[in-house]
Structure 1
Amino acid sequence: MKNQITSALSDFFFEYETPRQVLVRNRRVGVVCRLIQLGVLVYIIGWVFIYEKGYQSTDTAVSSVLTKMKGVGYTNVSGIETVWDVADYVFPPQGDSSFVVMTNYIITEGQKMGKCPELKGMHDCTSNADCVGGSFKRTGHGQMTGVCVNKTQTCEVLAWCPIEDDHTIPNPPLLISAENYTLFIKNSVTFPLFGVTRSNLVEGIDSNYIGKCLFHPKKEPLCPIFKLGDIVKLSGFSFEKLAQEGGAIGIVVDWTCNFDVDVKHCKPEYNFHGLYGNPSETDSASASVGYNFRYAKHYMEDKIPKRTLLKVFGIRFDVIVKSLARKFDIIPTLTAIGSGVGIFGVATVVCDLVLLYLLPKREFYKNMKFKYTDTQTQQDNESIDLDSNAYYTLEANSRQVQDEDKPNDPDSEAGSTEAEVSEMRIIDCREK
């Protein structure tokens, strides 16, 4: 028992089994196999390793963005001159990654709470019956009092009066000077997997450089100060057209880094895209065109609360950080190699299908590749082998006895006769 166990362990550890292989000399099949293997090799090297960087691990960044606007605007509406600074035209003022710069507006001054007729077209009427007191209209400006104002043929409402009239949008935009405003972007990214922190104020960008640089996609691609007119132009829009009714621009800060080289080569790239619209669109009937919102400045006059209402048309800027860092890692490398080696098996499968099912000599290849066995045939063969062994054993014993009993006289026939009888018996037994 011990010897059997020792033998089994020895066979397990010190023997190697390899599958049976058949070498087929066929030009068509050989060419197909090599072409498939070449395609797999090109896929592994070209796509997995070179294009997809399958030998590297990846990480995305944790990002922080701060913004700051600079510039002064000037308007002269009905002889009223106004200077607009950052506190007036930027919303919100905290320097977030998403903000709005006012480029046009409709102002309604001296509003106070009271009763006044609704705007024409908002809720027209011919009698008081058309104005249900205490009700609201979704697009209206206040609560209806139940009175129809004959002069305007509209319902009277309780609201901030006079009611804002925003049917006519100023053209050209009142703050077209916003084209010359500048935007400063400060961005910091951290890649936790690799323990790397970078800022868009990279090597060579100091206070002196920032004081005189202005972003240009080719001449100054790393300058963090942008002119609003340039941003809109690079996104494909016309500033004047966008400024009239507002719009949205995405500023993409792209951090695509390879940490297999020095970290100082990890630098941002800036791209600009129009959001919620396409520069080629010319359909003026599109729904919800532009970008606008309202805000009010409240004050007291003769102990009466009043407000100045502004409908602001502006350009919304969204600073979007896009990041992807890569670095060599042995685990994805081995995974990519292993999957590639496994794909090489496709060539074998395809060639086997061609050999076994498509070629004219497929039956011949089947017989060469597969060894068929039958249970009954196996039992018959085992029986024949046993009878053959018994036959050769008896024959050997008979010859041994013959040699021992054979007299020294070479002419004696006794030993020979006895041997012949034994051989005949053995043959007869085999035949039975």
Structure 2
Amino acid sequence: MKSKITSALADFFFEYETPRQVLVRNRRVGVVCRLIQLGVLGYIIGWVFIYEKGYQSTDTAVSSVFTKMKGVGYTNVSGTERVWDVADYVFPPQVNASFVVMTNYIVTESQQMGKCPEVCAEALSPFPLPRKTLNVSVQGQMTGVCVNATKTCEVLAWCPVEDDHTIPEYVHSSWFSNCKLILAFHSSLTFSHTVHVMIQTTYRDIKCLHDPVTAPLCPIFKLGDIVRLSGFSFETIAKVGGAIGIVVDWTCNLDANVKHCKPQYNFHGLYGNPAEPDKAKASVGYNFRYAEHYMENKTQKRTLFKVFGIRLDIIVQSLARKFDIIPTLTAIGSGVGIFGVATVVCDLVLLYLLPKREFYKNMKFKYTDIQKPVSSNVKWTFKKKGKTGAQELLSRSEHQ
């Protein structure tokens, strides 16, 4: 028993087994094999290395964006003149990666807490309502009293209540069309893990103006150009508001000089489809309300603003690539493994599709029968005669 175990261990550690190979001279199989290998080689070189950059490792960026609004606007609504600066039309005042630029508004002045009739687009029906209907409406707490003059319900609210059923034409058309508003970006980002590098947008001409063709790197934009590049009608979006995404895209190949790492700016409308008519869109517009409170004759009052504006969301997306030996070896190893597909396909053709498939099976596989061991003379003949001896051995086995 000990000798058997020792012999088995010696055979395991000190012997090497190699797969049997058969050289097949067949033009069709050879052409199929080479075509598959060429296809795999083209995939590895063209797709993995050239297109997907499989020899590089990737990383995203830790980034920040600073924005600044410039421009002063002028409006004349019903004879009331007013000048609007950045503190009036930008929300929030400390501009960050998401902010709103006011383009239209509805103002309700001198509101104070009290009881007054609701304002509805159409009179309620049936009318009058029961006097004890005490629920909350959109504009306040119902008192259960009906107002015959307006055919609406009386509410406890800030009076007079806001009437926003008719949206005025956008009031900032003059200074928007005259390009008084400029938006400036100062973007910076740091790539980590793969490489530590600080990249910041710089532009020598601070008086430049962004143009996709002539000045694609300029970080200063007109609001009108942003709306136009996003695919929307400026007149519509200025009246009812909307949302636009500004994508700052950093795609950098850090194997080259870092000065070639430059941002690209893209603009996308974030609601509806720009190709559809405005009335067909499911959701059009963006608005919110805010109030300015003050005291008058010891009475608390407020001025309510319903603001229509363009919400600008700045989105930074980044991808840095740099050569790395580990993904390179991984890509090469996986490519070499795919070469085995050619062998599998050719074996299937040889063993199952060709007319001489039985002959190829006998050449590829060596069959043994433990009940009839092969004699030493036959083994000697196989070793001495080479290929001729192998054919003779196969013929003998077939006769047997």
Provide TM-score, normalisation by structure 2: 0.87
The DSSP-based 3-state class of the residue aligned with 1:352 is helix
- The residue type paired with residue 21 of structure 2 is Q
Aligned to 2:199: 198
Indicate the residue corresponding to 1:151 in structure 2. 149
Bigger fraction of residues in helix: 1
Q: Distance in 1 between matches of 2:134 and 2:329?
A: 74
**What is the distance in 2 between the residues matched to 1:168 and 1:81?**
21
Say whether residues 1:333 and 2:334 are aligned partners: no
For the structure 1 residues 285 and 272, does the alpha-carbon distance in structure 2 shift closer, same or farther, using more than 3 Å as the test? closer
Shift of 1:343: 0.2
* Secondary structure class of the residue paired with 2:46: helix
Equivalence map 1:8-47=2 (5 Å):
12=13, 17-47=17-47
Following superposition of structure 1 onto structure 2, how do residues 292-307 of structure 1 map, counting pairs within 5 Å? 292-307=287-302
- What number of residue pairs does the alignment pair up? 372
Counterparts in 2 of 1:220-235, with a 5 A limit? 220-235=215-230
Query: Which of these two proteins has the greater Rg computed from alpha carbons?
Result: 1
Report sequence identity in percent. Answer: 72
Map 1:209-358 onto structure 2 (within 5 A).
209-210=205-206, 212-358=207-353
CA distance, structure 2, for counterparts of residue 158 and residue 123 of structure 1: 19
3-state SS, counterpart of residue 376 of structure 1: coil
Q: CA deviation at 1:87?
A: 0.3
Quick check: 1:248–1:291 contact (8 Å CA) kept in 2? yes
Measured after TM superposition, the shift of residue 293 of structure 1 is 0.7
Residues 126 and 148, structure 1, Cα contact 8 Å, conserved in 2: no
CA apart distance, 1:79: 0.7
Which stretch has the larger CA shift, 48-57 or 250-259? 250-259
SS in 2 for 1:44: helix
- Contact 2:291–2:303 (Cα < 8 Å) also in 1: yes
Work out whether residues 121 and 165 of structure 2, in 8 Å CA contact, stay in contact via their aligned partners in 1.
no
Report the Cα offset of residue 134 of structure 1.
2.9
The DSSP-based 3-state class of the residue aligned with 1:354 is helix
1:255 Cα offset (Å):
0.8
Partner of 1:56: 56
Residue 252 of structure 1, CA deviation: 1.0
State TM-score, norm by structure 1. Answer: 0.81
CA shift digits 1:319-350 (9 cap, x unpaired): 11110000000000000000000000000001
1:75 alignment partner, SS class: strand
Which whole-Å CA distance do the structure 2 matches of 1:348 and 1:157 have between them? Answer: 84
Structure 2 portions without partners, runs of 5+:
379-400
- 3-state SS of the aligned residue for 1:260? coil
C-alpha displacement at 1:153, in angstroms? 1.2
2-side partners of 1:196 and 1:283: how far apart? Answer: 45
Distance 1:289-1:9 versus aligned 2 partners, 3 A rule: same
Provide the alpha-carbon RMSD of the alignment. Answer: 2.5
SS at match of 2:371: helix
State the 1:304 CA deviation: 1.2
TM superposition shift of 1:239: 1.4
Shift of 1:277: 2.1
Partner of 1:167: 165
- Matched-pair contact (CA < 8 Å) for 2:101–2:309: yes
Q: Secondary structure at the match of 2:279?
A: coil
